[in-house]
Amino acid sequence: MNSHDLAAKYTPVSAELRRSLNGDGYPVPDFGTPDPASLLGLRVAIVMTHGPELPEFDVPYTYLRERGAAVSIVTQDWLFDYPPDKNRPGSVVLAEWLAVDVAVQADKRISDARVQDYDAVVVIGGAWNPIMLRTDPKVLQFICDAHESQLLIASICHGPQVLVSSGAFPRGTQATGVADIQGDMANAGMQLVNAPAVYDAAQRLVTSPNPNFLREFCVELGSRLLGK
């Protein structure tokens, strides 16, 4: 018997319930007409695996690219080495609350990513995404190397779980995150700040609490990339 066989004991999800699995959604900010050269020459790695929230990925990804930044999607090795979809190695599933209907193609595996190739690292949230990232030694080492190299690091919602597990950030680091991980962050010695976007200049860290503040997150990220 396989664990998948256990599903036969239970009631199938109704069409109405399935429609609700996308959740209510978040407002997508309108940033106006972008200057396509404002971030030209800057290089950003978005580190993610299966299960980040769709807006937490798409809004910063689009914001950066529309302003000229070169953005690489970096994922765990196994999505390339043992791809669930053998026709599309490196395919990363994006979530909308509990629904997983769309995917994006990663650019490289974490083993091939070098911090010297980037100016910033973005770690987004979601439920499954940070759980898998925070237990991957290669991901944690990449975060540590990025911090040691004084790269700008930005994280939103549940993403700071990965930062906590990296051990890279000293006690007193100013940050924020979604409410249910703030205890985790406080236990790691982070100084919690209640704000839409928090920047700790000493640690070169940008954080925001949840996707309702994607506008503030992106604007702060773009500003700090420019050294403002």
Beta-bridged to residue 200, according to DSSP, are 205
Which backbone phi and psi does 53 adopt, to 5 degrees?
-65, 135
Residues 6+ apart with CB under 8 A from 224: 120, 152, 154, 199, 204, 206
Instruction: Specify the pLDDT at position 1.
Output: 87
**Residue-level pLDDT at 61:** 98
Give the DSSP H/E element, type plus range, for residue 44: strand 43-47
Low-confidence ranges of the chain (pLDDT < 50): none
Strand partners, 74: 47, 108
CB atoms within 10 A of CB 137: 8
3-state secondary structure of 13: coil
CA angle 181, 187, 193 (to 5 degrees): 60
CB within 8 Å of 180: residues ≥ 6 apart: none
The total number of residues shown for the chain amounts to 228
CA distance 176 to 228: 20
* Contact between residue 132 and residue 51 where contact means Cβ atoms under 8 Å apart: yes
The pTM of the whole model exceeds 0.85: yes
pLDDT tens by residue, 163-216: 999 999 999 999 999 999 999 999 999 999 999 999 999 999 999 999 999 999
pLDDT reported for residue 202 = 98
**Cβ atoms within 10 Å of 93's Cβ, excluding its own:** 18
Q: What are the residue boundaries of the structural domains of the chain, listed by start?
A: 35-225
Closest CA to 155 of 175, 179, 184: 175
Axis crossing angle, helix 214-225 with helix 54-66, rounded to the nearest 10: 40
33-53 in b/e form (b: 16+ CB < 10 A) is ebeeeebeebbbbbbbbbbbb
Per-residue pLDDT at 84? 85
Instruction: Name which CATH class applies to 35-225.
Output: alpha beta
* pLDDT reported for residue 85: 83
8 Å CB contact between 49 and 75:
yes
